[in-house]
């Protein structure tokens, strides 16, 4: 509370009155305009109580200063005597009330009422902000959905996602907005659909899926299934329509749906499906009615890198496949096992009893320890480490649970491996301390250049001119040894440090490129940018200024982002790419195929390169589905006039398939591992 009183005793009387009424307050008193301006600007106030007139400084001036600030701070004016005319005057100027100075009871009630109203307003503003953020996220999800989705109001389109446009053959959303949805319905089904529209107009929504004939923009017809749901867009009520193409073969449709959720190498679920299930598990645990607790396991082989180097990539994949079967064999029918990434496996155990969770994990440890992996006559053994985290009503979100299980697995490894570690409150405290330490280390690395760049060649299979390198990042420890990105990037993302790291990489890359300015062959750097940088509207301006200062042409830079980042920020990515085009820079999408098998989003992004996800590339020789997916991506890229890059190329057998399939570029250890120098002989290719 800020009081503006000539007497500090008067101010103390008001403060004491508030404390006696049970309010914990911090108050300060000022007596003139200079002190008021200083105090008002230094901190946020909840309420101001001022006398009607001070010497040369009255309530009118205070109210004007508050109004000019744009802050929501209620002002109550006190006067020696209440007067209706004065009350009208000060309230027109913005005061909440005029109170006679002798009426302490009314002053207390008025202050309490204004504080309650202020809390309501703040809560309302916060809710509006959260609502807008929720709508933004929902719109992003709709834009990247594989289903064709439209929002209609009174039978007219007011929103359509990319898949909807593709389904009906439209190029832009503006082509369909304002068009009646009836135009997309086969004439023979018009009467049926009119009945549905009448039903929607009365506020009723068809409960069941509706099978109906649909018409494309070119007149072509196809059968579809329509699902209706009440919705709102920008606060206006409307109806959401989801259209799914009707498959002729339901068994095939189910098989394709299963493939979208499956890891092709191991047969377990994939990362996307596990993430969805983890979200549902956290929601079930935090629901007051169900409060269904469960647990998550994070599992890694203890020496997989050594195994891979010893037996080769193809044989190492067989180890992962057998490893997955061992894990799955110890689970119940309600449990969910997934290959999350690389050699990381995750499991959701539908069991609230921690003792039973522990028993399941110990059975897995024993099964892996006792198993002999047979690799075409060569036998190896290994062990694994398991981290466990409970999912209970206090679990804040899925990311937190995942982080806890990951951290517990790291502790199991640090303890020598072949063991289980269950996350505890003590771990949480230690984790927070470690996180703070890492944040300090990352900030120091940014400030004192404790990073370094590595370069991996990207080589054309069809003699495209120019030298291309992926720019990779390493952080340096106290002994100048490399710290791999996996150890610090996730934390940097959580703590908002990625934009600064991205800028460091771009700036250092620009310095290197200036030294190669006069090279006979042009050099192109592929530089990863984070999700936060994609959404940062100032990042493009910063790049523009850097290019001018370094006197570099934008064509030297290809910025790349993961498919998951692109899909979750489609509009921002489109704006970012359009800005890069003005700077003559190019854009690449990394890990294409890892998030979705529908590539309709590519029609809306002017990208030059598609980097095929390495998990498909590495299993090309052993997996028919991987070959089909790589072929699909390559065919789409060719049709959209985009160039393809195959990541993680490890051997000559894979290279032959990629060349025959028309892939444009390759990258991986078969060519060269990341190096601190750029010495690859591109002419040898």
Instruction: Write the pLDDT tens digit of every residue in 554-566.
Output: 999 999 999 888 8
Checking if the pLDDT of 242 tops 60, the result is: yes
Please, which pLDDT band fits residue 273 given cuts at 50, 70 and 90?
confident
3-state secondary structure of 212: strand
CB-based contacts of 362: which residues, under 8 Å, 6+ apart?
420
Same domain, 238 and 277: no
pTM: 0.52
| The pLDDT of residue 255 | 55
Please, which pLDDT band fits residue 430 given cuts at 50, 70 and 90?
confident
Task: Write the burial class of residue 349 (CB in 10 Å: 0-12 exposed, 13-18 middle, 19+ buried).
Answer: buried
Q: Are 213 and 221 within 8 A, CB to CB? A: yes
Q: Which of 474, 511, 504 is nearest to 489 (CA)?
A: 474
89: β partners? none
| The pLDDT of residue 290 | 66
Last residue of a domain, one of 246, 277, 305: 246
Q: At what angle do helices 425-447 and 398-414 cross, to 10 degrees?
A: 90
Checking if the pLDDT of 57 tops 90, the result is: no
Question: Does residue 129 form part of some domain?
Answer: no
Same domain, 510 and 647: yes
8: β partners? none
Same domain, 560 and 650: yes
- CA distances to 245, 467, 612 from 665, in Å: 35, 12, 10
Task: Write the burial class of residue 206 (CB in 10 Å: 0-12 exposed, 13-18 middle, 19+ buried).
Answer: middle
| The pLDDT of residue 367 | 95
Report angle CA 584, 586, 590 to the nearest 5 degrees. Answer: 165
| The pLDDT of residue 611 | 94
Query: How many angstroms separate the CA atoms of 352 and 335, rounded?
Result: 12
The chain-wide mean pLDDT, for the chain, equals: 86
| The pLDDT of residue 646 | 93
Q: Percent of the chain scored above 70 by pLDDT?
A: 92
Query: How many angstroms separate the CA atoms of 141 and 568, rounded?
Result: 7
| The pLDDT of residue 458 | 95
Phi-psi region of 210 (alpha: psi -120 to 50; beta: other; left: phi over 0): beta
Please, which pLDDT band fits residue 259 given cuts at 50, 70 and 90?
low
Last residue of a domain, one of 423, 458, 480: 423
For 226-232, what is the mean pLDDT? Answer: 84
Please, which pLDDT band fits residue 136 given cuts at 50, 70 and 90?
low
Query: How many angstroms separate the CA atoms of 609 and 613, rounded?
Result: 13
DSSP secondary structure letters along 80-119: SS--HHHHHHHHHTT-SEEEETT-HHHHHHHHHHHHHHHH
Question: Does residue 177 form part of some domain?
Answer: yes
Query: How many angstroms separate the CA atoms of 644 and 216, rounded?
Result: 30
| The pLDDT of residue 129 | 62
| The pLDDT of residue 656 | 84
Kind plus residue range of the DSSP H or E element containing 236: strand 236-245
For 491-519, what is the mean pLDDT? Answer: 90
Domain count, the chain: 4
For 460-476, what is the mean pLDDT? Answer: 91
Q: What is the CATH number of the domain that holds 594?
A: 3.20.20.450
Q: Which of 576, 561, 565 is nearest to 526 (CA)?
A: 561
Strands 57-58 and 53-54: antiparallel
pLDDT in tens, 16-40: 998 888 888 889 998 888 888 888 8
| The pLDDT of residue 398 | 85
Q: Are 299 and 290 within 8 A, CB to CB? A: no
Question: Does residue 251 form part of some domain?
Answer: no
Same domain, 651 and 503: yes
Cβ burial 215-253 (10 Å sphere, 16+ → b, else e): beeeeeeeebebbbeebebeeeebbbbbbeebeeeeeee
| The pLDDT of residue 344 | 92
3-state secondary structure of 54: strand
Checking if the pLDDT of 579 tops 90, the result is: yes
Query: Cβ of 13: how many Cβ atoms within 10 Å?
Result: 14
- CA distances to 158, 159, 624 from 234, in Å: 11, 11, 46
Specify the higher pLDDT residue, 256 or 567. 567
384: β partners? 301
460: β partners? 665
pLDDT in tens, 385-394: 999 999 887 7
Q: Which of 365, 271, 272 is nearest to 323 (CA)?
A: 365
Q: What is the CATH number of the domain that holds 358?
A: 3.30.70.270
Checking if the pLDDT of 293 tops 80, the result is: yes
Q: Are 241 and 185 within 8 A, CB to CB? A: no
Checking if the pLDDT of 260 tops 70, the result is: no
Q: What is the CATH number of the domain that holds 31?
A: 3.40.50.2300
DSSP secondary structure letters along 239-266: EEEEEEEPPS-HHHHHHHHHHHTB-TTT
Same domain, 647 and 558: yes
Question: Does residue 525 form part of some domain?
Answer: yes
Phi and psi for 311 in degrees, rounded to 5? Answer: -105, -10
For 152-169, what is the mean pLDDT? Answer: 87
Query: Cβ of 356: how many Cβ atoms within 10 Å?
Result: 13
| The pLDDT of residue 499 | 94
Question: Does residue 501 form part of some domain?
Answer: yes
Strands 236-245 and 148-153: antiparallel
For 583-605, what is the mean pLDDT? Answer: 83
Task: Write the burial class of residue 425 (CB in 10 Å: 0-12 exposed, 13-18 middle, 19+ buried).
Answer: exposed
CB-based contacts of 32: which residues, under 8 Å, 6+ apart?
54, 55, 56, 57
Same domain, 27 and 119: yes
| The pLDDT of residue 8 | 85
| The pLDDT of residue 44 | 81
pLDDT in tens, 621-666: 877 778 888 898 999 899 889 999 999 888 888 888 898 888 999 9
For 434-446, what is the mean pLDDT? Answer: 89
Task: Write the burial class of residue 538 (CB in 10 Å: 0-12 exposed, 13-18 middle, 19+ buried).
Answer: exposed
Strands 420-422 and 378-380: unpaired
Task: Write the burial class of residue 303 (CB in 10 Å: 0-12 exposed, 13-18 middle, 19+ buried).
Answer: middle
Three-class SS string for 570-610?
Answer: HHHHHHHHHHHHHCCCEEEEEEECCCCCCCHHHHHCCCCEE
Q: Which of 587, 505, 515 is nearest to 550 (CA)?
A: 515
Q: Are 111 and 133 within 8 A, CB to CB? A: no
Checking if the pLDDT of 365 tops 60, the result is: yes
Q: Percent of the chain scored above 90 by pLDDT?
A: 38
| The pLDDT of residue 596 | 63
For 407-415, what is the mean pLDDT? Answer: 90
CB-based contacts of 554: which residues, under 8 Å, 6+ apart?
547, 580, 583, 584, 585
Q: Is the dihedral of CA 301, 306, 309, 312 positive or negative?
A: negative
| The pLDDT of residue 31 | 85
Task: Write the burial class of residue 12 (CB in 10 Å: 0-12 exposed, 13-18 middle, 19+ buried).
Answer: middle
| The pLDDT of residue 229 | 83
Same domain, 11 and 84: yes
Kind plus residue range of the DSSP H or E element containing 233: strand 221-233
- CA distances to 6, 330, 380, 615, 678 from 376, in Å: 93, 26, 11, 22, 38
Q: Are 599 and 635 within 8 A, CB to CB? A: no
Same domain, 622 and 563: yes
Last residue of a domain, one of 407, 423, 439: 423
Query: 514-523, 524-533, 659-668: lowest mean pLDDT where?
Result: 514-523
Same domain, 412 and 486: no
For 132-158, what is the mean pLDDT? Answer: 72
Same domain, 120 and 161: no
Checking if the pLDDT of 323 tops 60, the result is: yes
Checking if the pLDDT of 466 tops 60, the result is: yes
Checking if the pLDDT of 122 tops 70, the result is: yes
Q: What is the CATH number of the domain that holds 225?
A: 3.30.450.20
Question: Does residue 442 form part of some domain?
Answer: no
Q: Looking at residue 269, what DSSP letter applies?
A: B
pLDDT in tens, 182-200: 989 999 999 999 888 888 8
Query: How many angstroms separate the CA atoms of 362 and 354, rounded?
Result: 12
Checking if the pLDDT of 528 tops 90, the result is: yes
| The pLDDT of residue 678 | 92
Same domain, 358 and 505: no
Question: Does residue 133 form part of some domain?
Answer: no
3-state secondary structure of 415: coil
Report angle CA 629, 167, 588 to the nearest 5 degrees. Answer: 45
Q: Are 556 and 523 within 8 A, CB to CB? A: yes
Same domain, 367 and 481: no
Query: How many angstroms separate the CA atoms of 368 and 381, rounded?
Result: 8
Question: Does residue 253 form part of some domain?
Answer: no
Query: How many angstroms separate the CA atoms of 14 and 36, rounded?
Result: 18
Checking if the pLDDT of 338 tops 80, the result is: yes
Phi and psi for 230 in degrees, rounded to 5? Answer: -65, 145
Query: How many angstroms separate the CA atoms of 469 and 656, rounded?
Result: 22
Range of the domain at 89: 2-124
| The pLDDT of residue 622 | 76
């Amino acid at each position: 509370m800020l009081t503006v009183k000539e007497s500090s005793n008067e101010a103390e009387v008001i403060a004491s009155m508030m404390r006696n009424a049970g309010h914990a307050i911090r108050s300060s008193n000022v007596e003139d305009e200079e002190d008021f301006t200083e105090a008002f600007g230094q901190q946020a106030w909840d309420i101001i109580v001022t006398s009607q007139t001070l010497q040369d400084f009255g309530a009118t001036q205070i109210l004007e200063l508050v109004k000019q600030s744009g802050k929501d701070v209620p002002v109550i004016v006190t006067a020696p005597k209440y007067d209706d005319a004065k009350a009208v005057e000060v309230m027109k100027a913005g005061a909440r009330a005029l109170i006679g100075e002798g009426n302490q009871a009314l002053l207390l009630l008025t202050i309490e009422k204004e504080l309650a109203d202020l809390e309501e307003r703040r809560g309302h503003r916060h809710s509006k902000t959260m609502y807008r953020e929720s709508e933004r996220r929902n719109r992003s999800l709709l834009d990247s959905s594989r289903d064709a989705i439209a929002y209609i109001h009174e039978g007219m389109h007011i929103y359509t996602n990319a898949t909807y446009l593709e389904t009906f053959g439209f190029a832009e959303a503006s082509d369909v907005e304002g068009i009646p949805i009836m135009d997309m319905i086969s004439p023979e089904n018009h009467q049926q659909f009119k009945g549905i529209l009448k039903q929607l107009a009365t506020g009723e929504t068809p409960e069941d899926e509706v099978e109906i004939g649909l018409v494309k923009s070119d007149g072509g017809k196809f059968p579809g299934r329509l699902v209706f749901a009440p919705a709102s867009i920008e606060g206006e009520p409307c109806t959401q329509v989801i259209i799914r193409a009707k498959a002729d073969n339901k068994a095939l449709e189910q098989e394709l749906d299963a493939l979208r959720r499956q890891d092709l190498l191991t047969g377990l679920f994939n990362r996307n499906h596990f993430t969805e299930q983890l979200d549902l598990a956290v929601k079930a645990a935090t629901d007051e009615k169900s409060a269904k607790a469960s647990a998550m396991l994070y599992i890694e082989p203890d020496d997989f890198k050594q195994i891979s180097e010893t037996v080769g990539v193809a044989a190492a994949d067989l180890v992962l496949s057998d490893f997955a079967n061992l894990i799955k064999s110890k689970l119940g029918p309600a449990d969910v096992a997934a290959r999350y990434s690389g050699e990381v496996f995750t499991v959701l155990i539908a069991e609230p009893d921690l003792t039973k969770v522990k028993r399941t994990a110990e059975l897995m440890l024993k099964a892996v320890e006792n198993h002999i992996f047979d690799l075409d006559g060569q036998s190896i053994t290994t062990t694994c480490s398991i981290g466990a985290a409970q999912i209970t009503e206090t679990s804040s979100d899925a990311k937190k649970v995942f982080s806890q299980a990951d951290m517990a697995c790291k502790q199991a490894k640090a303890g020598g491996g072949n063991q289980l570690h269950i996350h505890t409150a003590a771990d949480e405290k230690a984790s927070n301390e470690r996180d703070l330490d890492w944040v300090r280390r990352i900030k120091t690395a940014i400030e004192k250049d404790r990073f370094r760049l590595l370069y991996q060649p990207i080589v054309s299979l069809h003699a495209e001119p120019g030298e291309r390198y992926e720019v990779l990042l390493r952080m340096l420890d106290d002994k100048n040894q490399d710290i791999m990105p996996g150890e610090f990037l996730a934390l940097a993302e959580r703590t908002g440090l990625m934009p600064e790291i991205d800028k460091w990489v771009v700036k250092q890359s620009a310095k290197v490129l200036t030294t190669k300015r006069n090279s006979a062959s042009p050099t192109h750097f592929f530089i990863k940018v984070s999700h936060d940088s994609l959404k940062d509207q100032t990042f493009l301006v910063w790049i523009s200024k850097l290019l001018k200062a370094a006197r570099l042409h934008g064509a030297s830079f290809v910025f790349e982002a993961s498919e998951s980042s692109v899909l979750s920020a489609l509009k921002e990515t489109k704006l970012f790419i359009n800005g890069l085009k003005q700077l003559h820079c190019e854009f690449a999408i990394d890990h294409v195929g890892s998030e979705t098998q529908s590539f309709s989003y590519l029609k809306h992004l002017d990208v030059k390169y598609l980097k095929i996800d390495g998990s498909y590339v590495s299993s090309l020789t052993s997996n028919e589905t991987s070959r089909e997916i790589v072929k699909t991506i390559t065919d789409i890229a060719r049709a959209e006039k985009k160039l393809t890059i195959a990541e993680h190329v490890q051997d000559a057998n894979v290279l032959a398939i990629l060349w025959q399939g028309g892939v444009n570029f390759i990258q991986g250890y078969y060519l060269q591992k990341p190096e601190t120098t750029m010495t690859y002989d591109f002419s040898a290719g």
